[in-house]
Structure 1
């Protein structure tokens, strides 16, 4: 293909003349895909292979860009995406730079992201151990293999002079078994109108009671049986303990750039349960490292020890010995080996942010602090306290929502001192809720401590309250950015807002020209049982709870020595021996607050920062050092402003 030819011509050439009519990939049909790009971006043109009998209808693959997308159910049997670029893009080939360890420029990074995006789509809509892709730069091709640990690739194949290697690959691929093509044999695709598909529909209608909180599992299962999404039967465990589950679309999925865990959570129908119980099933590619425990094994120990407010294990296990190979092909690289793992638990819960009022929120956090404290008696340390790992589960006996501490994926035996390969590990977990000293890595012991997890509970409480309770804070987005997303490792040298709050045991939000800074205060709701002349607006009892927690935390940090001196000390520094900031003190504080007969009801408000703020950056130094409410609030553009209905008089005049 001449260098002036465009991407579209490359795809049509491959589909028509080289592949389908040649029979080199017998049993498969390559089809060009034309998708309308997002606003402001180019149309996406690429190709992929389908088994002859499973190719999508022609209306989804037209000869010109269209608004129609391939439904997930049509992507279920898709294979070998082919991404084509003009030959003049070859100078931006990212694989050359990766091979020689050169940093990618913006164009090379863009191309690599596009290639990995196509691979990620296969992983998202299918259950695979790896996938192949072919990347063309004009006449030059590369064969790429992608799994959850990394990417490997061939040298350039100059198809203009000798396409033997590419033809040989396609022939071998067409003759390979499904497992050798990257298909996960432990996942069986279920047709929507098959007997198992009908069984799923019947279960979704069984004992329907929308007004009963216990109906949450059935309701979620019903909502996830999407007609445009492939359904699967998944196997968990092996031997006599092997169980099978039916799943629809995932309840959640981590779509971060590869490599990653590829974690997906499902509401699953247990085929081996005569009562047709619905359970929560997590499918993931877990890091395979010394010191990393299987989540199911950890939960089993928690259950055996009678730890409350934690999940109940149903079954778990590595999936048919499936492991990644990228790390083995390039042992000198820093690829982390991963293994395919599934775990099923009995409880099906709802997110923490769906709490009804602040009293229910505080009670849920108390439950999880109790769970953490009891787990430390085993001793098991959670190491990843975050908003997403604290859920609400319905207790039918007590007729209330209670907290459940879940996702014990990176928990560890505390007796191992949180070591990996003989070295101490702080283990950040979710950095938005990590302890200040863990982010700084300058104070205290070199291993993660229980108090670091307890600090995470404080940050979670503050995060949820700021988003869902009224307060004197005006620029919520700036506060969330400064407190929860500013603490990158390189920025900590200039001091972080979160560290300032911990050091001062207060949360300043605005600096007046004269006098002290204004502190964050949460407001009582208006109406009965709310504020009055004796109870001013910003006297919510949560203010006292947060103030006490920050004072205890400040006391802990005041006595922590520098990390490099910690191992030289032959005594435990006063105040750092679990007497200043402890689980029991937190539990007692929460209990006392929850017994307040004047605790307000109906104090939850709409999400004060509903849009995704993760990409917001406060770049300029003079703005970064300002307190949140001193940061200018950007005015919405014309298309972002809500439409307001004109008064009747103005409508008549305009008419």
Structure 2
């Protein structure tokens, strides 16, 4: 610390935080970070903790020698590998990723830096939403090398944008009581954000997708238009290059009069406020970089869109009738979108919201169209297995890419409906039984999910739902769904399954089934609101490695990389490997 302090700008500090975990940094697996040394700029501390990921400019992690290095630069006949093998190396990478992610998740950043000390050797790291960039190892004690000193001098003297601070979020010291009331932000900080040529006030985000190290890093905020004071939703995301900007998709849907979707107030890629920026992007590397063989690194661009509705999560339904009605509305939106030539491809509970009119009438809206695909497009895009893993159709869990169909999204609707019923609709299941149901969603095993659907109406019957109306509509839907993974016993049975399979590729049967059930006035009058119920997940067997992540965007591609190296992914043959991407 003393040796590096002369190279820091006046007011910057290095603090020993090796024994002072940050209590507010549990973004990954609730792990509280405590880097050996934390580096802070001259700004006012956000709290009294020694370790503050929300203020951290960078960190130093100290290892005794190069045996603890998490990286290598191996060039062979099969390409370049950057990840060093072995348990110690994986632990080092996991540690560094956790630190960098805590900085990214607790701040508004375009990128962040880290320093890994390995005895007399050192590596510099730069983290973005696409990857971690790692320098070659150098001897920082040599009189011929000043890389480490130069790094800290340049970092501490650089403007905030170069250091990775997203200056397009402008902190507001003075905000009217009216704005704070609209944002429900009486004790939280407020920022002004530009989207296109318009400005909006936001406070704390109400989503947690940005807690993951790589990927789109979506943050959604309740926002207030600075000019009209209209309440709306602002979505800040690092979109994947190769996919259509979400605003473009919404414009196409509205042109074809697709209902039950939000309207657009503003949208566009994000540019820096100052001269040090340009378009916020990451994941593009020229020929001078050593990129891992079969790299899963994706190019991302910073993007924002503002939508004209502020909805409620589908899990906050006021009755099971309302739940069914909102699912129906979302299915209708999906149907109309397909007619307009747009496939959603990411059906999940988070992408169906409840929007209430002035008289409190509820409508279900289908949102989050950023991974959608136009039907006229051919070929595989950046990563073709799009979707939230817990709600993906079972047949998509295949080693080889499978052409998606409308039926796959409809299966996702069915899985969402069942999941909401098991976890939020009043039922008599024990915590253990409920945990066993939810485990099916967290397991990437194709057979488990297929069997869950194969048993048909028996699946919702096991939920012991208090609402017989909800139970009946789920059983009727699942009676048809049992055909999707059925193996016919004879030709007669094969003919019946074939007819059901045709139904499963159209919206009509699902819409008509729910519409028929919703005509029941007695069910409509029943106020059986959502209730978040407890569950206990089954204990993982000791001889099976538990995956570190069950729902990141890059699980599949990490698994593919291990197969390229001739390694067998952890768990069963159909399991996914969480990996550690660089």
Q: Report TM bin, short chain.
A: 0.7 to 0.9
Q: Which residue pairs with 2:569 in the alignment?
A: none
Q: Which residue pairs with 2:62 in the alignment?
A: 84
Map of 1:419-568 to 2, 5 A cutoff?
Answer: 419-420=379-380, 427-440=385-398, 446-471=402-427, 473-474=429-430, 475-486=432-443, 488=444, 491-492=445-446, 495-496=447-448, 498-507=449-458, 519-520=461-462, 522-524=464-466, 540-557=468-485
Contact 2:70 2:83 in 1 (8 A): no
Map of 1:167-566 to 2, 5 A cutoff?
Answer: 167-190=149-172, 194-195=173-174, 198-199=175-176, 201-205=177-181, 218=182, 221-222=183-184, 224=185, 226-227=187-188, 230-237=189-196, 242-271=197-226, 273-274=227-228, 276-289=229-242, 292-320=243-271, 321-325=279-283, 327-328=285-286, 329-331=289-291, 333-396=295-358, 399-417=360-378, 419-420=379-380, 427-440=385-398, 446-471=402-427, 473-474=429-430, 475-486=432-443, 488=444, 491-492=445-446, 495-496=447-448, 498-507=449-458, 519-520=461-462, 522-524=464-466, 540-557=468-485
TM (normalized to structure 2)?
A: 0.79
Which whole-Å CA distance do the structure 1 matches of 2:60 and 2:349 have between them? 39
Q: Which has the larger radius of gyration?
A: 1
SS in structure 2 opposite 1:235?
strand
SS in structure 1 opposite 2:355?
strand
Contact 1:264 1:284 in 2 (8 A): yes
Which whole-Å CA distance do the structure 1 matches of 2:47 and 2:485 have between them? 65
Q: 1:310: how far off?
A: 0.7
SS in structure 1 opposite 2:476?
helix
Deviation per CA, 1:209-247: give whole Å up to 9, x if none: xxxxxxxxx3xx21x4544xx53222212xxxx212222
Which whole-Å CA distance do the structure 2 matches of 1:620 and 1:165 have between them? 45
Deviation per CA, 1:99-150: give whole Å up to 9, x if none: 7445543332222222222222222232222122112233432211111111
Q: 1:31: how far off?
A: 3.2
Deviation per CA, 1:144-179: give whole Å up to 9, x if none: 111111111222332333351211222333343333
Contact 2:426 2:531 in 1 (8 A): no
Which whole-Å CA distance do the structure 2 matches of 1:262 and 1:317 have between them? 16
Contact 1:549 1:586 in 2 (8 A): yes
Q: Which residue pairs with 1:569 in the alignment?
A: none
Larger mean Cα displacement after TM superposition, 39-48 or 259-268: 39-48
Q: 1:499: how far off?
A: 1.2
Change in Cα spacing, 1:96 to 1:326, as seen in structure 2 (3 Å) is: farther
Deviation per CA, 1:467-516: give whole Å up to 9, x if none: 12344533334333442122x2xx43xx32x312433423359xxxxxxx
SS in structure 1 opposite 2:4?
helix
Instruction: Identify the match of residue 56 of structure 1 among 45, 70, 78.
Output: 45
Q: Which residue pairs with 1:5 in the alignment?
A: none
Q: 1:361: how far off?
A: 0.4
Deviation per CA, 1:282-331: give whole Å up to 9, x if none: 11111112xx1111111122222221111111111111221114644445
Contact 1:225 1:248 in 2 (8 A): no
Residues matched between the structures, number: 511
Change in Cα spacing, 1:204 to 1:182, as seen in structure 2 (3 Å) is: closer
Q: 1:388: how far off?
A: 1.1
> What is the Cα-based RMSD across aligned positions, in Å?
3.3
Q: Which residue pairs with 2:575 in the alignment?
A: none
Which whole-Å CA distance do the structure 2 matches of 1:43 and 1:284 have between them? 25
Contact 1:373 1:583 in 2 (8 A): yes
Instruction: Identify the match of residue 603 of structure 1 among 510, 514, 528.
Output: 528
Gaps of 5+ in 2: 75-79, 272-278, 489-496, 545-582
Change in Cα spacing, 1:250 to 1:616, as seen in structure 2 (3 Å) is: farther
Which whole-Å CA distance do the structure 1 matches of 2:253 and 2:190 have between them? 32
Q: Which residue pairs with 1:643 in the alignment?
A: none
Which whole-Å CA distance do the structure 1 matches of 2:465 and 2:296 have between them? 50
Contact 2:477 2:510 in 1 (8 A): yes
Contact 1:471 1:520 in 2 (8 A): no
Greater RCO structure (CA 8 Å; 6+ sep): 2
Contact 2:315 2:530 in 1 (8 A): no
Q: 1:575: how far off?
A: 4.0
Q: Which residue pairs with 2:138 in the alignment?
A: 157
Q: 1:349: how far off?
A: 0.9
SS in structure 2 opposite 1:18?
coil
Q: Which residue pairs with 2:493 in the alignment?
A: none
Q: 1:256: how far off?
A: 4.6
Which whole-Å CA distance do the structure 2 matches of 1:410 and 1:399 have between them? 31
Contact 1:232 1:248 in 2 (8 A): yes
SS in structure 2 opposite 1:546?
helix
Gaps of 5+ in 1: 1-13, 62-68, 206-217, 510-518, 526-539, 561-572, 622-655
Change in Cα spacing, 1:338 to 1:523, as seen in structure 2 (3 Å) is: closer
Which whole-Å CA distance do the structure 2 matches of 1:101 and 1:42 have between them? 27
Q: Which residue pairs with 1:145 in the alignment?
A: 126
Change in Cα spacing, 1:41 to 1:128, as seen in structure 2 (3 Å) is: closer
Which whole-Å CA distance do the structure 2 matches of 1:58 and 1:608 have between them? 35
Change in Cα spacing, 1:166 to 1:245, as seen in structure 2 (3 Å) is: same
Change in Cα spacing, 1:618 to 1:542, as seen in structure 2 (3 Å) is: farther
